[in-house]
Amino acid sequence: METFYLSIAKKIIKVSSLHEAVKTYCQDFLVERCPEDYALEISQEDIEYERGLNEYPFTDDVLEITALHRKIAETLYRDDIIAFHGSAIKYQGNAYLYTARSRVGKSTHTNLIKEQLKDEMIWINDDKPFIEVKKNQITLYSSPFNGKERRGCNTFAPLKAITQIKRGTENYVNEIEPVVFFPLLVSQCYKGRTPEMASRVMDLLDLLSTKIHCYEIYCRPDIEAAEVSIREILKK
């Protein structure tokens, strides 16, 4: 059993894992041993649960990483912090989250934005960031779980907008009313395995939708789409 400490969303989490590869995967979020907010232990049963959800024959260490993300999400919601699926970037001190249905191309879009903005933009997390939802502040945090390309860094920023990417023949942006945008938020976050967590997450999403800008961008996978996104969302 490997024991290490992580700092995620300003919470200290003591992790006991079965495979050393899990600690290596989380290396950018490791901290020295200190009093923890939470202690999590990953078991073989947790790994087998993840295996049952996947058709591809992933190795145990990969499945344990997924199990760790699930357990962290099922812990941090108690502090009003929810796990989200999307590509999060930082520009001029604010966080912007792009999300989409599977295979639409959220990472492709943020990569095109990066090509335009270069060092003005950084990736916070390209797959599974965490969002802290408070009445006076919405904050997006990175996590070790940042996708196949490992795009991201250990940082955070106030969340200004969430944008849904949709494929289209023209590039344009619409701002969406929170009540219309809410079903997308529900579909792109982790709601847990208990009614208690699901209820709390839904309440947090309801508050979140009223505290940020909600957009949809219809776009092609091209540079013009990035330019429209920069002009109509990031610089608005």
pLDDT at 165 over 80: yes
What pLDDT was estimated at residue 102? 76
User: pLDDT at residue 25 above 90?
Assistant: yes
Q: For 108-120, what is each residue's pLDDT tens digit?
A: 999 999 999 999 9
Q: What is the pLDDT of residue 104?
A: 79
The total number of structural domains that make up the chain? 2
Q: Is the pLDDT of residue 10 over 90?
A: yes
Q: In this structure, are 90 and 13 located in the same domain?
A: no
Domain end (from 49, 78, 107): 78
Secondary structure of 167-203 in the HEC alphabet?
ECCCCEEEECCHHHHHHHHHHCECCCCCHHHHHHHHH
Cα end-to-end span (Å), the chain: 49
Does one domain contain both 98 and 180?
Answer: yes
Q: Which residues contact 130 (CB under 8 A, 6 or more apart)?
A: 8, 9, 73, 76, 81, 82, 83, 84, 140, 141, 142, 143
> Are 162 and 205 in a shared domain?
yes
Residues 7, 98: one domain?
A: no
**Mean pLDDT of the region 172-185:** 96
In this prediction, residues 134-147 reach a mean pLDDT of 97
Specify the pLDDT at position 106.
87
| Same-domain pairing of 126 and 69 | no
Residue 164 lies in domain: 81-234
Q: Are 71 and 190 in contact (CB under 8 A)?
A: no
The CATH number of whichever domain residue 183 belongs to comes to 3.40.50
**Taking Cα atoms as reference points, which of 33, 31, 3 lies closest to residue 15?**
3
User: For the CA atoms of 131, 133, 136, 141, what is the dihedral angle to 10 degrees?
Assistant: -20
Distance CA 199, CA 178 (A): 18
Are 159 and 98 in a shared domain?
Answer: yes
Each residue of 199-225: pLDDT tens digit?
999 999 999 999 999 999 999 999 999
Instruction: For residues 34 and 110, state if they share a domain.
Output: no
200 and 125 within one domain: yes
Q: At what angle do helices 195-211 and 178-187 cross, to 10 degrees?
A: 140
| Rounded Cα distance, 78 and 1, in Å | 27
3-state DSSP call for residue 112? helix
E-assigned strand segments in the chain: 2-8, 11-17, 30-31, 38-41, 81-83, 87-91, 94-99, 121-125, 130-134, 137-141, 156-167, 172-175, 213-219
- Do 121 and 217 fall within a single domain? yes
Whether the CB-CB separation of 22 and 42 falls below 8 Å is answered with yes
Do both 134 and 224 map to the same domain? Answer: yes
Report how many helices (DSSP H) and strands (DSSP E) the chain contains, helices first.
7, 13
Confidence of residue 101 (pLDDT cuts 50, 70, 90): confident
Last residue of a domain, one of 42, 60, 78: 78
Query: pLDDT of 47-60, one tens digit each?
Result: 999 999 999 999 99
Q: In terms of domains, do 30 and 106 share one?
A: no
pTM: 0.96
d(CA 159, CA 148): 23
180-200 mean pLDDT: 97
User: Do 123 and 18 share a structural domain?
Assistant: no
Last residue of a domain, one of 20, 54, 78: 78
